[in-house]
Amino acid sequence: MTISGIVSEFNPFHNGHRHIIDKMRKESDCVVAVMSGNYVQRGEPAVFSKYLRTKAALLCGVDLVIELPSPWSAACADCFAFGAISVLQQAGIHALYFGCEYPDIETLTAIAKADQNLDVSAKPNETFAKARERALSEKLQFNCSEILNSPNCNLSVSYINAKDLLGADFSLHPFQRIGTAHDSSQTNANISSASYLREHIENGVLFDEFVPKETVGLYKGAMVSGQYLNKQHFKLAAFLKMRAMTDFSRLPDLSEGLENRLLKAVK
């Protein structure tokens, strides 16, 4: 039996996801998805619960969904990738599929190898991301900026690094994202970005043509019963929680001094 794996959020599951799951099913016997739980990498709750999103995935060709716990699912790209790849490694996958804007495995692997133990020294007023792009471009002798500015390519590099760090033994299968770009507000035929769908779901509108027919009833039922993320309610709750905090330095992934900016901004 061949087992293929994919790292996902399915926030929500849409026709673009269905396209790659169908491709994976043709090339393997079993499809395993590791999926963010109720909190996703952007740091907010998913538009629908992890249970509804799991059911949507199972209805559309995924055989097994394994939750990626929040400490990894809501973390930076490297932590997100390390958590997800470690779960899929333990699930025994033979192949990892991931979508990106530039699905050239040789180029992505070269960037990932160069990124390992990379010496990054930022110039005055230069962000770490820009300094990293510059350092990688200098090391590889070609401009990496356009690739690394593509969110899914950046995450793909993190997947490759996590695979190497864990010593995982599975093949890598990047595929070209179809339809619209990540976070795009545009649509293409019956394909839209997940952010486009989230925006309309938050406004109480669902476009049936952009999601598999198996999921339409699930999503509409959740929307009618109010079981979806109201971002305004979430923002208010998060803001009130932050106003009650006095020590932001205990939060993860904060570089020195950022906690003071957060505290000032909240107040």
**CA–CA separation, 267 vs 257, rounded Å?**
16
Provide the pLDDT confidence category of residue 208 given band limits of 50, 70 and 90.
Answer: confident
User: What per-residue confidence (pLDDT) applies to 36?
Assistant: 97
pLDDT at 183 over 50: no
Residue 142: per-residue pLDDT: 92
pLDDT score of 121 more than 80: yes
pLDDT for residue 260: 85
Helix residue spans in 60-127 (DSSP H): 70-73, 77-90, 105-115
By mean pLDDT, which of 76-80, 157-161, 173-177, 217-221 is the weakest?
A: 173-177
Query: pTM to 2 decimals?
Result: 0.89
Spatial separation of the C-alpha atoms in residues 95 and 159, rounded to whole Å: 12
pLDDT at 200: 83
Out of 57-71, 114-128, 243-257, least confident range: 243-257
Average pLDDT score over residue span 153-168:
96
Which residues, including other chains, have CB under 8 Å from residue 37's CB and lie 6 or more apart?
A: 46, 50, 67, 68, 69, 70, 73
Tell me the pLDDT tens digit for each residue of 131-150.
Answer: 999 999 999 999 988 999 88
Helix (H) or strand (E) holding 198: helix 194-202
CB 118 within 8 A of CB 139: yes
Q: Is the pLDDT of residue 184 over 50?
A: no
Distance in angstroms (rounded) separating the CA atoms of residues 37 and 138: 38
> According to the model, what pLDDT value does residue 188 have?
59
Give the whole-angstrom CA distance, residue 126 versus residue 122: 6
Let me know if domain 3-101+151-229 sits in CATH 3.40.50.620.
Answer: yes
**Rounded mean pLDDT, 55-77:** 96
Give the least confident one: 7-21, 143-157, 171-185, 219-233.
171-185
Judge whether 245 and 221 are in contact, CB under 8 Å. Answer: no
